[in-house]
Amino acid sequence: MTTLPLLLLDVDGPLNPFAAQPSEQPTGYGTHHVRPDFLLARFPGKPLEEVEPIRLWINPDHGPRLLGLPFELVWATAWKGEANTWIGPLVGLPELPFIAWPKMFHEDPDGLHWKTRVLVEWAAGRPFVWVDDELGPQDTEWIAANHPGPAATYRIHPGVGLRAEDFDTLREWARTELGA
């Protein structure tokens, strides 16, 4: 068992800056069009070629940079295990564990992100940083009050994605908080 902290990683926003203007593809990112199973499930019986694929902008440098961080990487994305099929190979990541959300995109009674409670339960007290584009201050506060170990939320702009300084910040958090 590893003693590294967890890096709980969302796909859309941090790795796929989907909110960037279509005419402004971020530098260093390649364009990929994919039809994951979760997309195809929305169109039962429709021929594959008639299902509009998802456009991904992916930077292949992110994989080596993520692997160079002192964290155990975990997919914390609505892509769930399909991140290992469609995203990991594009950035050079091995198969990673993922959080299998029991319910997605639902309203929380306290206004938390739909991932927050399950993510904290999944971490089971281990130190973590959660990297996502949809985090709010209420999530950070709730995690601080309900997670027994060191934890941080790290919001990424969905039109920018992870940048070099973000990797530095994550590395510094691990060093400062845990001596990693």
Tens digit of each residue's pLDDT (9 = 90 or more) over 49-77: 999 999 999 999 999 999 999 999 999 99
Distances (CA, A) of 38 to 59, 74, 77, 97: 23, 19, 12, 18
Distances (CA, A) of 39 to 16, 36, 55, 146, 153: 16, 5, 12, 34, 28
**Averaged pLDDT, 142-164:** 97
H or E stretch at 171:
helix 164-178
Amino acid in position 140: T
Q: What is the CATH number of domain 6-20+59-178?
A: 3.40.50
Question: Pairing mode, if any, of strands 30-34 and 54-58?
Answer: antiparallel
Structural domain spans, the chain: 6-20+59-178
Measure the CA–CA gap between 71 and 130, rounded to whole angstroms. Answer: 11
- pLDDT tens column, 1-47: 458 999 999 999 999 999 998 888 888 999 999 999 999 999 999 99
Contact 86, 36 (CB under 8 A): yes
φ, ψ at 4 (rounded to 5°): -70, 150
Selection from 163, 9, 26 nearest residue 83 by Cα: 9
- pLDDT tens column, 131-146: 999 999 999 999 999 9
- The C-alpha angle with vertex 161 and arms to 149 and 95, in degrees rounded to 5, equals 65
- pLDDT tens column, 90-108: 999 999 999 999 988 889 8
H or E stretch at 33:
strand 30-34
Please state whether 77 falls in left (phi above 0), alpha (psi between -120 and 50) or beta: beta
